[in-house]
A and B are shown apart, each in its own frame.
Chain A
Amino acid sequence: MDWITMERWSPYAVGIGIGLLSCLTFVLSNKSLGCSTSFVTSAGMIGRLFSKKRVDSNPYYKKMGVTVDWQWMLVLGIAIGSFLGAILSRGLILEWVPTVWAEAFGSSPVTRWVVALVGGVLMGFGARWAGGCTSGHGISGGLQLALSGWVAVMTFFAGGIATAMLIFNVLGA
């Protein structure tokens, strides 16, 4: 049972596992792996606390739904599964500033927090604009041979590679 405490598994083993998990979700739930819709659901649930009327009359929330559903539970499960993965191997990370970021921009938690927040806003906005994220478009769209999935994954990485190069090779050089 050494594998259960091993810090890292081969990316191929993990990828094949995710591929098989996709097969299961198709059969058992008629659903494909995806994550970003549940952030809309959650934003709607939080928004309702402030203005129920505004959320309920918004056409996007109407279209996507504002209830705890299969995908919402999936995303909650991801956090739990990753927590289990961490405590069974190297333990929780409990850090504000990742190494690669700290090497280029220093170890200030505030700087990292602000940049992460800006990145999160852009990504959440872009994911909904594109109609999916790395799992919904990249893995699930890709495996269904969806043109949207392949175009999405290419633009995710084109934008991502260009921005990472700008951040680390120009601004952080």
Chain B
Amino acid sequence: MLTKLHDNKSAQLGLGLAGGIVFGFLLQRGGATDYNVIINQLLLKDFTVMKLMLSAVITGMIGVHLLERWGLAKTSPRPGGWGSTALGGLIFGVGFATLGYCPGTAAGAVGEGRFDAIFGGVIGILIGAAVFAALYPALDKAILNKGAFRKVTLAELLRVPKWCAIVPVALLLTLLLMALEYGGL
């Protein structure tokens, strides 16, 4: 691993910015910074967002795990639980459909000159994050640690070696994308 580069703080700030520019350009060209595209995905009328996300996951899943095998990368999957991930995820979903952007695509929509993303989206997300920070000690005590997942990854859950999960999942997701195309969606 390139640990020297990882520890170089100013180089990392530059790499973050460069990576973000590529990410933002891709999201804009994919239509993911467009409210209409996102809402039509949630209304199940346009599957662009799902196609984009699943092809990113398939490519990254194979790529990152190969890089890990070659000693060039280290995965660090986050732990989760029903009280934190699932409950928070539902709240996120309600906000996602109400706003029509997610945090990353809201930043992209700002760059594209969408005023509802600037004055509604970004400011709203900042307020939401600040409210969460203020309530964090109470939420952490009451609910965030409830129903923690005992395993971190799908491979651990199924008790199989990593690649015995990666290959079937990649194939299944590819089949799902082919079914979407075949179904004309």
Chain A: residues with CB nearer than 8 A to chain B? 6-9, 11-12, 14-33, 35-36, 39-40, 42-44, 46-47, 58-61, 68-86, 89, 92-101, 109, 112-135, 137-165, 167-169
Contact = CB atoms under 8 A, between A and B. Distances in A.
Contact of A127 (B88, B108, B121): B88
Nearest to A155: B89
Interface residues of B, number: 128
A21 B112 contact: no
Nearest to A116: B120
Nearest to A77: B20
B30 A11 contact: yes
Which of B56, B127, B153, B166 has most chain A Cβ within 10 Å?
B56
A126 B43 contact: no
A169 B89 CA distance: 22
Nearest to B115: A96
A124 B88 CA distance: 10
Contacts, number: 544
Most interface-central of A33, A152, A160 (chain B CB within 10 A): A160
Contact of B132 (A60, A133, A150): A60
A74 B23 CA distance: 8
Interface in B7-48: 12-36, 39-40, 42-44, 48
A94 B123 contact: no
A99 B39 CA distance: 11
A125 B29 contact: no
B43 A144 contact: no
Given A60-B136, A120-B128, A125-B91, 16 more contacts: A21-B26, A22-B63, A28-B5, A29-B15, A32-B76, A59-B136, A79-B108, A80-B24, A95-B115, A117-B120, A117-B127, A119-B121, A121-B131, A139-B56, A162-B97, A167-B97
Contacts of B13: 68-70, 73
Contact of B102 (A68, A135, A150, A151): A135
B154 A145 contact: yes
Contacts of A73: 13-14, 16-17, 20
15 contacts: A15-B53, A18-B59, A20-B60, A39-B125, A42-B126, A58-B136, A82-B24, A82-B111, A120-B121, A123-B103, A128-B129, A134-B96, A134-B104, A142-B53, A152-B89
